[in-house]
Amino acid sequence: MAHPGGRPTKYRPEYCDMIIDFFSRPPQRVEYKRTYNPDGSIRSEEPIILGNIYPTYEAFAHSIGVDRGTLEDWSDRHEEFNRAYTRAREIQLNILHINGLGGQYNSQYAQFVAKNCHGYKDKTDVSVEQSGPFEVKITVD
């Protein structure tokens, strides 16, 4: 059966599980800084918590031979992929929270990603108390 209007899609239902697996990596790993005795035995071990690489849609798309726009298109066209895509986003945000709050990611990077990729914004509360009428004059030179 011919595909109407262009190339056949590269979409496969197994991509739903693959995207979840790709994003479902541990947020952190522990490595050890070791100090050794002259005889080669370990004198001390200090655990160091490191943030794992932040999973991105671009990296997943590359791993299956498409681009990010294709993932977005599949999300619009395939309900099951949309659910997986949304779940991957939630997992990604959790990784950002854990490593951002734990200091494993640069704080400016974490803030940038939260605002630009996850819809977060700075909250500013403004309150004005007024007991009578007021006038605002704007002068333009």
Task: Report domain extents, the chain.
Answer: 15-117
**pLDDT of 127 above 80:** no
Could you give the CA distance from residue 44 to residue 112 in angstroms, rounded to a whole number?
38
Q: Would you state the pLDDT for residue 3? A: 55
CATH topology of domain 15-117: Topoisomerase I; Chain A, domain 4 (1.10.132)
pTM: 0.74
Mean pLDDT of 83-109: 94
Q: Per-residue confidence at 129, pLDDT binned at 50, 70, 90?
A: confident
Q: Per-residue confidence at 1, pLDDT binned at 50, 70, 90?
A: very low
